[in-house]
Amino acid sequence: MALEIYNTLTRKKELFTPLEPGYVGMYVCGPTVYSDVHLGNCRTFISFDIIYRYLKYLNYKVRYVRNITDAGHLEGDRDEGDDKFSKMARAQKIEPMEIVQRYTLGFRDVMQLFNTLPPSIEPTATGHISEQIAMTQTIIDNGYAYEKNGTIYFDVEKYNAEKPYGILTNRKLEDLLEGTRDLDGQDEKKGRLDFALWIKAKPEHLMQWPSPWGMGFPGWHIECSAMSSKYLGKQFDLHGGGMDLAATHHTNEIAQNEACFHKSPAQIWMHTNMLTVNGTRMSKSLGNGFLPHELFTGAHALLDKAYSPMTVKFFMLQTHYRSTLDFSNDALQASEKGLKRLWEAYENLQKMQYTLGEINVEIEEKTATLIHGFDESMDDDFNTAKVLANMFEIVPIINSIKDGLMPIGSISQNTFALLQTKMKSYLEDVFGLIPAQESNNNNLANVMELLIDIRKEAKLKKDFATSDKIRNQLSNIGIVVKDEKDGSVSWNIG
């Protein structure tokens, strides 16, 4: 079997044929760095990391571009108001780029804790202002954008007269228009769906740049068109992001690229489904976002205990990336047990020495089929859940050998060797799970739980000398303990 990928654009799985044999260009919309990434964001980035790793496992040379949105993303989805960075900067009385720096570093730390690989290029919107201006100018020159008082709008109706604007989510312009409110007479836009490529800045605006249309800043959508075309060319293989980006951000990216280059950017559009909490999408604006460190420390009302990054990642891999995934303490607990069981079997497997014996045809065939199923499942639109299901069927075989219930020679030497190498490639290289971190993190979390308990008891007894000593000495070794307003205690490695 060869790799098939579900394409949002065609609404079916397609055989993956890279534009240039042996090479893959992949663009993924990165985080908007104005606050901490939540676990939903992490799901999307972890999914694309596994996809990147699998493409490398298939020996493709992959250029993986994931941007950092550090300008242009406005508060609401209308083209007005402050951008998210300036709003935070104003509130905290610091520079917008301090906000950007803080959350970019935080994002990278979290991605490292999940053992994801850094992308090949991580371009920033602020580093590509001239490219965004140039692209905007070409779109104006080609007749698909217009200026109103220093702001440049994309003319959706004009574009739609030639090319279907809603092609990505298979919707007609009339249907899309239904979901928008009427222009109120004050609006600069000609059409309700028109969106800004460049936005005029008020004098007090904190992030602004000179342009042929005066001082301003780029719209959010144009940054991805400018950066993907710069680093991957006008057409490339894969474009990804969360499903919530398809209807607007990615739809606008396609329109911009077509209007500028007369080409649709990506062959295949991939969208990850949402991480939900009690069935509702996890999101910053809804206030139901779990932060990764709340999981790693257990400091959240919905959690009984801390979970390691590998448990959280394993929990995510047990569901296909195009299905929703509901987050709960019980599900995490099950994943923790599952990962432990799998990892123990894997470690035992790696220590085993093969000796010839009488092959049990049934076990031999079953084992071989399960192992071949790894690649088959990943070739079937990156079905990590199916790979793990196969692994869990292999675990009892490994355990039977380990416990002396079945001779190792019941399976052939070839199959046994394949089992050892494929389990290693998948668990460590494709899924990027790390065993050592698993136990170290659990140990640290357990020790912290104990210290926090002792401190709590000391405080109850008004023994503040002891409680302060615990907090101060932890702080000296870089662990910050914080008393939360709700009475709980959190900690992080600061």
Cβ proximity to ligand AMP, 85 vs 261, nearer residue:
85
Using CB under 5 A, pick the residue from 24, 28, 29, 125 that binds Zn ion: 29
Cβ proximity to ligand AMP, 73 vs 189, nearer residue:
73
Judged by CB under 6 A, does residue 32 bind ligand AMP? yes
Q: Please give the Cα distance from 124 to 97 (Å, whole number).
A: 12
Q: Which residues pair with 14 in a beta bridge?
A: 5
Judged by CB under 6 A, does residue 283 bind ligand AMP? yes
**Site map 192..231 versus ligand AMP, x via CB under 6 A:** ----------------------------------------
Nearest to 226 by CA among 201, 252, 205, 195: 252
The piece of 151-159, 237-245, 302-310, 334-342 that touches ligand AMP (CB under 6 A) is 237-245
The piece of 267-275, 330-338, 360-368, 378-386 that touches ligand AMP (CB under 6 A) is 267-275
* Residue 328 binding: pick among ligand AMP, Zn ion, none (C-beta 5-8 Å cut-off by kind): none
For the chain, the distance separating the N- and C-terminal CA atoms, rounded to the nearest angstrom, is 47
Please give the residues from 366 up to 425 whose contact with Zn ion meets the rule CB under 5 A: none
Using CB under 6 A, pick the residue from 46, 168, 282, 295 that binds ligand AMP: 282
Q: Are 206 and 216 in contact (CB under 8 A)?
A: no
Cβ neighbourhood burial of 252 (10 Å; 0-12, 13-18, 19+): buried
Closest approach of Cβ 148 to ligand AMP, in Å?
Answer: 27
Judged by CB under 5 A, does residue 33 bind Zn ion? no
Please give the residues from 224 up to 253 whose contact with Zn ion meets the rule CB under 5 A: 224
Q: Please give the Cα distance from 73 to 77 (Å, whole number).
A: 9
Judged by CB under 6 A, does residue 275 bind ligand AMP? yes
Cβ proximity to Zn ion, 67 vs 311, nearer residue:
67
Distances (CA, A) of 444 to 161, 304, 307, 438: 61, 16, 11, 10
Q: Provide the CB-side half-sphere exposure for 176 (13 A, CA).
A: 21
Which residue type is seen at 71?
Answer: A
> Sheet containing 61-66: which strands, arranged edge to edge?
61-66, 23-28, 236-242, 266-272
Q: Please give the Cα distance from 305 to 294 (Å, whole number).
A: 10
Angle at 220 between CA 324 and CA 78, to 5 degrees: 85
The piece of 132-140, 223-231, 258-266, 347-355 that touches Zn ion (CB under 5 A) is 223-231
Judged by CB under 6 A, does residue 313 bind ligand AMP? no
The piece of 80-88, 276-284, 314-322, 445-453 that touches ligand AMP (CB under 6 A) is 276-284
The piece of 76-84, 144-152, 219-227, 417-425 that touches Zn ion (CB under 5 A) is 219-227
Q: Which residue has the tokens 């709700």?
A: 486
* Residue 228 binding: pick among Zn ion, ligand AMP, none (C-beta 5-8 Å cut-off by kind): none
Structure-token pair, residue 485: 């307003």
* Residue 224 binding: pick among ligand AMP, Zn ion, none (C-beta 5-8 Å cut-off by kind): Zn ion
Cβ proximity to ligand AMP, 239 vs 455, nearer residue:
239
Which residue type is seen at 122?
Answer: E
Q: Are 154 and 232 in contact (CB under 8 A)?
A: no
* Residue 156 binding: pick among ligand AMP, Zn ion, none (C-beta 5-8 Å cut-off by kind): none
Which run of H or E residues covers position 441?
Answer: helix 435-460
Q: Please give the Cα distance from 455 to 295 (Å, whole number).
A: 21
Return phi, psi of residue 14, to 5°: -125, 150
Please give the residues from 119 up to 148 whose contact with ligand AMP meets the rule CB under 6 A: none
The count of residues in the chain is 494
Please give the residues from 35 up to 54 whose contact with ligand AMP meets the rule CB under 6 A: 40-41, 43-44
Looking at residue 121, the DSSP 8-state letter turns out to be B
Q: Please give the Cα distance from 194 to 62 (Å, whole number).
A: 35
Closest approach of Cβ 90 to ligand AMP, in Å?
Answer: 20
* Residue 281 binding: pick among Zn ion, ligand AMP, none (C-beta 5-8 Å cut-off by kind): ligand AMP
* Residue 282 binding: pick among ligand AMP, Zn ion, none (C-beta 5-8 Å cut-off by kind): ligand AMP
Cβ proximity to ligand AMP, 109 vs 364, nearer residue:
109
Q: Are 50 and 262 in contact (CB under 8 A)?
A: no
Interface residues with Zn ion (CB under 5 A)?
A: 29, 224
Which residues here bind ligand AMP, judged by CB under 6 A?
A: 29, 31-32, 40-41, 43-44, 69, 241-242, 244-245, 272, 274-275, 281-283
